[in-house]
Amino acid sequence: MKKAEQNIFDFSLKPYMGSDNFVVSNCNEAAFKAVENWPNWLYFALCLYGPKGCGKSHLATLFAHKVMMLASKPFAVKVIKSERIKHKKIKINQGKNEMKLLLLNNPWGRNIYNEGIGPYCLENLNENVDNEALFHLYNYYRDNGGNILFLTERAPSHIRFKLPDLASRMRAVPAVAINAPDDEMLRVLLFKLFDDRQVKVAPEVLEYALNNMTRSFEYAQKLVTEADRISLIKKTPVNIAVIREAMELLDDNKQGDFFL
């Protein structure tokens, strides 16, 4: 009789995103301070860029919380992926000489001009964004006192926008990099990722992982996910043997992309 395999279900764990839970190190201190400096930004917009898993979404959440705390009335900052904004049509109200931009899936669900100008976060910015829609959204926020937080994996100057006018405008946005993690960041990040899953790991296990892992945010997330999966299947704590097996699977590059 074939031994039944244990099924492990992914319940899409959500990491804690509070300000006291964000790990600040040399690699992300500048980005953290830039977000915290709102509403005293020198420009109406800010761009944070860095590799997958580096904490851009967490910083966007901190930005949203700060806006809510300082707003004169309840206001929810929406975080919208760049592919969701679409340019449907632009029309000129001749009586008021006012341009109105209609967006599909805009953050308020209605015409932004009727809702006031509230801060807005656009993530996954890339050259495939609807250039015309972003161009007019950019101009409107710049000219009417709104704020936009852009999140992307590359600096705006390295994104090849199809619309030259949009490219020039995006180059004017202050851009702050989140750099590759140092040992201090990786150590705390591994602890946090395991803690988010309510998994207790001994210090020597964390040190083994730190000393042998690929130095990236994304790899740290995959390693913790895979180690947790193996420990559940084998019904054993996350120990050095589990970490070693997880690394072998990830480094084999056959299954590593399946566990995020």
**Distance, CA of 127 to chain centre:** 17
Quick: pLDDT tens for 169-209.
Answer: 999 999 999 998 989 889 999 999 999 999 999 999 999 99
| Nearest in space to 32 (alpha carbons), one of 74, 71, 60 | 60
Average pLDDT of the segment spanning 223-250 = 96
pLDDT tens digits along 34-69: 999 999 999 999 999 999 889 899 999 999 888 888
- CB distance 68 to 76 below 8 Å: yes
Lowest-confidence range among 12-21, 117-126, 128-137, 139-148? 12-21
Distance between CA atoms of residues 214 and 222, nearest Å:
11
- Which residues have CB under 8 Å from 251's CB, separation 6+? 214
Residues in the chain: 260
